[in-house]
Amino acid sequence: MPYLKILFCSLLVIMLDQATKLLSLTKPELLKTGGFFELYLTYNTGVAFGMPIPQNVIFILILLILVIGGFFVVRKFDLQKMIARVPVALILGGAIGNLIDRIRLGQVVDFIKVGPWPMFNLADSAICIGAVMIVIWGGKMVRSE
């Protein structure tokens, strides 16, 4: 049952991410520039936050390492606890949301700019929030053995 809840939450993240990206692509006139918080369309051909990728092979290797590493980390979580399910769902949903863009467009749609931070989207936000939750509450997520 916890896996269904993770899947459901991940699907919500994916749907919100893809809907906001579609909106930014089809209705760019809704996006506003100027000020500390800006909304404008850009494409990310690199990895997180626009870091460049030297080669696609390196990108694929990094993804494989992250997936394998993530699998070993999540195996230690007590997924019966909501505090463990939420960050897993956020990270999974965000990663799949950006992966959909990579497969469909060959790049990721970004449209949010806040102050000095690089451009991002809702999938990036979900991944970061999930990672911060793991850092803050990681000890409470681990299965007691």
Report d(CA 119, CA 42) in Å as an integer.
Answer: 8
Structure tokens of 106? 């060959």
Range of the domain at 47: 2-141
∠ CA 72-135-138, rounded to 5°? 60
Percentage of the residues of the chain whose pLDDT score is greater than 70:
86
pTM of the model: 0.82
What mean pLDDT, rounded, does the chain reach? 83
Number of domains in the chain: 1
DSSP letters of 28-78? GGG---SSSEEEEEEEE-SSGGG---S-HHHHHHHHHHHHHHHHHHHTTB-
pLDDT given at position 21: 96
Confidence of residue 48 (pLDDT cuts 50, 70, 90): low
Would you call 110 a catalytic residue per the annotation? yes
* Active-site pick, 17, 78, 101, 124: 124
Q: What is the bridge-based pairing of β-strands 37-44 and 108-114?
A: antiparallel
For residues 43-70, give the mean pLDDT.
67
Please state, for a pLDDT cut of 90, what percent of the chain lies above it: 32
pLDDT at 53: 57
* pLDDT tens per residue, range 86-139: 998 999 899 889 888 888 887 889 999 999 888 999 999 999 999 999 889 877
Q: Which among 17, 78, 101, 110 is annotated as catalytic? A: 110
Asked about 124 being catalytic, the answer comes back as yes
